[in-house]
Amino acid sequence: MPPTQNLQSAEIDDVTIEYGNTVKYLRAHLPSYLAAPKLAIICGSGLGGLVNTIEQTKSSKIEFSYSEIPGFVKSTVEGHAGKLVFGLLGVNKMPVVCMVGRFHMYEGHTKEQVTLPIKIFKLLGIEVLIVTNAAGSLNSEFKVGNVVIIWDHISIPGISGNNPLAGPNQSQLGPRFPPMSDAYDFELRRTAFRAAASLKLEKGTVKEGTYCWVMGPSYETRAEAKFLNLIGGDVVGMSTVPEVVVARYCGIRVLGLSLVTNMVLTKKPRSADPEKNEPETIEVHPSHQEVLEASHASASMMQSLVKTIVEMIYR
């Protein structure tokens, strides 16, 4: 696959003043060896520990709170620290940037605010985006703790009119009508499987599947979950797709990883009809606390997997 086209500083002002100011601010506060990272990582709910894969020396790790970055909004969700971290990762000391906490449309942020970091990544020279999330499983063959390598997605808000690319096109960043039929890069997915094999993860830990994006913040009803499974969904969550769509629009290669943190209820509710006399069953309903606990339980495995993937991409 051809390398991502870099936008030089002279062209940045042609995109918009706002984006240019953000990039200039970051570069002004970064040493030269961190100012042009090639890979970005977005840490999902409870997965902020992925930033620990970055070298932990003071000179090779620079953090920015979202509140200090021009144009960035505040992440309000528990489990999302809200900072951008630049550093060196892996044996090859690759310059990378990590989003520790993302933005969601259910927080009240606009689609432009949610996807602004991706456009900034493009202007910084990012070529590869690894996007992670915590997700509920719609697939009975998946279990909590599985890592799902995303091979496709279903965008319910996008289908309903909330496509992150709606509005005037910014031709300096990408085309008006970008294809999404292969949004998740095959070679990166293959690399993820190789990384899992090299770590000798338990057989069946890593799956492949389709991610369904729903707006949130309410979890899915049983009927909605059943519908999502029937149309091909394997896991469901409230993020990721806007970032992926804009990344592909910008020509950035994408690898998506979902950590299964809960099993979604797809069985019909218990009937209240006395004649049916259905017995009461004990069912576990989803909660954000459950998601965070499951994410933390798999933190070490996810950190090792992502670090190994990055090392394999750039070895």
Helix segments in the chain, DSSP class H: 9-15, 17-28, 111-124, 156-159, 186-198, 222-230, 241-249, 288-297, 299-313
Cβ-count burial 230-252 (b if 16+ within 10 Å, e if not):
eeebbbbbbbbbbbbbbbbbbbb
Helix (H/G/I), strand (E/B), else coil: 304: helix
Through-space distance between the first and last CA atoms of the chain, rounded to whole angstroms: 17
Distances in whole angstroms, Cα of residue 33 to Cα of each of 29, 95, 219, 245: 12, 7, 42, 29
Q: Which residues are catalytic?
A: 45, 80, 104, 106-107, 134, 238-239, 262, 288
How buried is residue 75: exposed, middle or buried, by Cβ count under 10 Å (0-12/13-18/19+)?
buried
Structure-token match 């200039």, residue found: 24
DSSP assignment string, 161-211: T--TT-SS--TTT--SS---TT-S-HHHHHHHHHHHHHTTPPTTSEEEEEE
Q: State both tokens at 220.
A: 């899915």
Is residue 205 within 8 Å of residue 305, measured between CB atoms?
Answer: no
Binding residues for phosphate: 45, 80, 102-104, 134, 220, 239
Would you list which residues are annotated within the binding site for a purine D-ribonucleoside? 262
